[in-house]
């Protein structure tokens, strides 16, 4: 079964540093997403991406965050200057079309120290 692949699985970074989280969505999927889950809390929507541009973003997705699809396969989330409160599990997801099932990656656990 096709998978969404995320790397790295775990990243530790110092406060103020930039991090890039990487995702390879399923090849024939057209809609891409990033979600965040702070430890012990529910999974929150960050941003959706379609046709090479952001479709929607949440209040969490401020100027410190950006997304990019640099080539035909990768989808990245960049945090420019990390804060302690950015520590969370970040999930990438993709879907073929709206109303179709979403496939989630295994997540990247980001720890900011």
Interface residues with other proteins (CB under 8 A) are 31, 33, 35, 37, 42-45, 48, 55-56, 89, 91, 93, 98-104, 106-107, 109
In the complex, minimum distance from the CB of residue 16 to other proteins, in angstroms, rounded to a whole number: 25
Q: Between 18 and 56, name the residue whose CB sits nearer to other proteins.
A: 56
Q: Between 81 and 111, name the residue whose CB sits nearer to other proteins.
A: 111
Q: Between 64 and 106, name the residue whose CB sits nearer to other proteins.
A: 106
State yes or no: cis peptide before 8, omega within 30 of 0.
yes
Distances (CA, A) of 45 to 3, 58, 60, 96: 20, 7, 8, 18
In the complex, minimum distance from the CB of residue 79 to other proteins, in angstroms, rounded to a whole number: 19
Residue 24: CB atoms within 10 A of its CB come to 16
In the complex, minimum distance from the CB of residue 87 to other proteins, in angstroms, rounded to a whole number: 13
| Cβ neighbourhood burial of 113 (10 Å; 0-12, 13-18, 19+) | exposed
In the complex, minimum distance from the CB of residue 45 to other proteins, in angstroms, rounded to a whole number: 5
Distances (CA, A) of 66 to 1, 41, 69, 96: 29, 23, 11, 22
Q: Between 59 and 71, name the residue whose CB sits nearer to other proteins.
A: 59
């Amino acid at each position: 079964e096709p998978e969404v692949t995320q790397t790295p699985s775990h990243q530790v970074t110092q406060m103020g540093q930039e991090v890039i989280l990487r995702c390879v969505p399923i090849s024939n999927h057209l809609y891409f997403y990033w979600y965040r889950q702070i430890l012990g809390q529910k999974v929150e929507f960050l941003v959706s991406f379609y046709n090479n541009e952001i479709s929607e973003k949440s209040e969490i997705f401020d100027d410190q965050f950006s997304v990019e699809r640099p080539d035909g396969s990768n989808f990245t989330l960049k945090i420019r200057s990390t804060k302690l409160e950015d520590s969370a599990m970040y999930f990438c997801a993709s879907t073929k079309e709206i109303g179709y099932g979403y496939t989630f990656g295994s997540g990247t656990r980001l720890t900011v120290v």
